Amino acid sequence: MRKTLVSYVKPHVQEDPLAMVLGIAYLGAMMEKEGLPIALADERIMTDAEMRRAIDENDIIGFGALTPNIRRAVVWAKYAKQQKKITVMGGPHASVDPGVFLDSGHFDYVLKGEAEHTLPQFVRALEAGDEKSLAELPGLSAMRDGQLAIDNPAPPLIKRLDDLPLPARHLLPMKRYFDANPEQLVYVFTTRGCPFKCIFCQKELTGRGFRVRSTEMIVDEVEQVVKTYNPGVVLFVDEILTLRKKRIHEMCDEIIRRGLKFEWIANTRADCVDYPLLKHMHRAGCRRIYYGWESGSQRMLDVLKKDLTPEEIIEAAKMTRRAGIWAKVYLIVGSPGETAEDIEESEKVLRLAGPDLVRVSVFNPLVGTESWDGYQANIDVDDLRENYVSSNRSAYRHENFSGLELEELRKDLVRRYEKWYYAYPQRTKRFMERCLYYLENPAYGRKRLGRAVGLVPPPQSSNVMQQARELE
């Protein structure tokens, strides 16, 4: 039986906290369930020598990479082909742009769409030499004699997420992740898909629907993770965790009922929270929320089709702070038609909202998104193919700013906000808000007072929220 390696290619810049990637872990779990030999590799925590050895020891080499990193995937596929391996590419970019991999000459196949079911079928067909099954496999694309010979539509989205096995974390060196990340971060997902229509988001892989796992299965996984790995923090990597608030109330109830004590983070939107939900999430261990705001200018929010208002953004931030939860927000500069006045509006909203951390990226039109289709005239395709994208540069030729100007605007927006945030007037304001919070939540107030006088030990896990508070 041929041995399969599924690998994740490291970014050219590691901007996010280092944690185990769930995609390859789910593929590994499904391969194990089907009784097929499987190994996983994450280049972010491996040396080049270790990566080469992993490729050398296996027969079918699968790659996954986000759009900014596909050039590196091509480099590794070239090495794999030199070793006479079978190569296959999957993931979000492969699902919308398979040609960039097949045209490179270093990939034998591309698997589009969610591959938990199709990867085992693909490996079995290869093992059996069953060309007919390969030709009919949903999502498969392949070249023959320099021509596109197979290009099947992606398989239907997986409807019952509870049917998927839990991710095979045991196939990855969890200690390496923890050693590289002082927070000892672990990812868990509870949903797939997003119904909103933001123009910059690739939706081909997970779709615009909203598929959910059962509360019991989610908390079962969390309990297993907490008891097995004792993580510092769990990040729910859903695009919008709180889209259905009743579901999160139920999840919080179950976490509390089981007595699970762990810190967790949510990704969501400003219009998908309310104060009762935020308080409930805090009681269940939520200490941070990451919001995709993108802009504080209503004009830019409309261009990006965020279906949000600055008023909703400000109110969500205030409710989050009142609930005792720390907020990180994501913004975009250089959206189509953006002006200096729009960026000033974003700064005003930031100061009215007062999030704890701001991360700013430059607008990037990704293949397979509405922004790609709608702004072709402004996209330098040659630049995109050569360099791809990152948070600080773009192949989009902006109407009002040069690339260097956008990079400076991105940096200055963060610098100015941080200077304002850490100035004493804002520190005093946050101190008063915390006092009001402790009055409303006396149990936490007593604990905080106990830590202040040395009667209660500080939290064991080091996290960004704690560091930010210590700065004050």
Q: Is the pTM of this model over 0.85?
A: yes
- At 312-361, the pLDDT tens digits run 999 999 999 999 999 999 999 999 999 999 999 999 999 999 999 999 99
- Cα distance between residue 175 and residue 306, in whole Å: 39
pLDDT at 452 > cutoff 70? no
pLDDT over 60 (residue 145): yes
Q: How does residue 14 score in pLDDT terms, banded at 50, 70 and 90?
A: low
Residue 106 has pLDDT above 90, yes or no: yes
Same-domain status, 137 and 214? no
Query: How many CB atoms sit inside 10 A of residue 375's CB?
Result: 17
- Which residues contact residue 408 at a Cβ distance below 8 angstroms, ignoring those fewer than 6 apart? none
Angle at CA of residue 93, ends 87 and 95, nearest 5°: 80
Q: Are residues 284 and 215 in the same domain?
A: yes
Question: Average pLDDT over the chain, rounded to whole?
Answer: 91
pLDDT at residue number 206: 85
Are 32 and 109 members of one domain?
A: yes
Percent of the chain beyond pLDDT 90?
77
Q: Are residues 216 and 118 in the same domain?
A: no
Residue 394: per-residue pLDDT: 87
| Residues 18 and 129 placed together within one structural domain of the fold | yes
- Would you say residue 460 lies in a domain? no
Token pair for 90: 């999957």
Full residue range of the structural domain in which residue 84 is found: 4-151
What is the CATH number for 282?
3.80.30.20
Average pLDDT over every residue of 82-97 = 95
Contact between 107 and 64 under an 8 Å Cβ cutoff? The reply is no
Res 238: pLDDT: 96
How, if at all, do strands 147-151 and 140-144 pair? antiparallel
What average pLDDT does the segment 276-299 reach? 97
Task: Determine the Cα–Cα distance for residues 115 and 158; give it in Å rounded to an integer.
Answer: 9
Please check whether residues 319 and 256 belong to one and the same domain: yes
128 in the same domain as 187:
no
Mean of pLDDT values over 11-33: 84
Whether residues 293 and 220 fall in one domain: yes
Domain shared by 378 and 309, yes or no = yes
Rounded mean pLDDT, 361-368: 90
Contact between 67 and 89 under an 8 Å Cβ cutoff? The reply is no
* Residues 137, 194 within the same domain: no
Summarised one tens digit per residue, pLDDT across range 182-220 is 889 999 999 999 999 999 998 877 888 899 999 999 999
- Taking the C-alpha atoms of residue 268 and residue 222, their distance in angstroms, rounded to an integer, is 19
